[in-house]
Structure 1
Amino acid sequence: MSNAIMHQIHPVLPVQNVLAALFFYTQKLGFEIAFADDPKDPKYAGVKRDHIEIHLQWHDEKEWDFNADRPMLRIVTQNVDYLYQEYNFKRVFNEKTVVKSTDWGTKELSFYDLFKNGLTFYQNI
């Protein structure tokens, strides 16, 4: 009997508009479209950059509650400072967003996507 080996994780983020989310992730965050269930009006799609893939799933606005706990992704990244410069140039986040060094030995860049899903890019120091 061999051991089960896990290779990747593809988190699914809820969004109200998959096309708008695809635009944000591709044009602002530098991802590319991995797939979409419909090219004109997708309800489920995936984006990828380097070694990660994030899935985006449409949710009806009637079910939507921005005040509810939102997903937060922590993405291991090389050179967070460079990523900060890239995203700052594209005006991805507000002017108060900074790269922070933590007490637990990481350097982190955190902000929200269009639908209040949290994204933290971090590296060990």
Structure 2
Amino acid sequence: MQPVMTAQEIAGFLDREFPQIHAGGRAYSIDSVSSGEAVMRLAATDLHLRPGGTISGPSMMALADLAAYVVILAHIGPVALAVTTNFSINFLRKPEAGDLLGTCRLLKLGKRLAVVECGIAGAGEEELVAHATATYSVPPR
């Protein structure tokens, strides 16, 4: 399944329709969009750290949920009302401070539901720090 939107088109859509993701600065960005996949980056700052210098769980959850939204938008087009209906995350190990990449893959893209899995790892690392799954409701066209 080929994307119908580019990373740049999705970024523009998010800037217009979901500007609150940039509260506190532009920490989240789209690295790439390809067939059935999107990669999002969290350029973690002090705002994303918890005591002990590790990236917080809520920051990783936001990365995974946003990356899921991006991969779905990439394949259905600019549908603002696609919403999360289920989200589950497993934290696997402590992420070090620095950039995280969320790589999300479409598992199913139906008429009404989309199911996505997302692996989160440090930039340049292969070992996952978290793994999430999400289901989105896609509004009727």
- The structure number with the bigger radius of gyration is 1
* TM-score in terms of structure 1 length: 0.30
* TM-score in terms of structure 2 length: 0.28
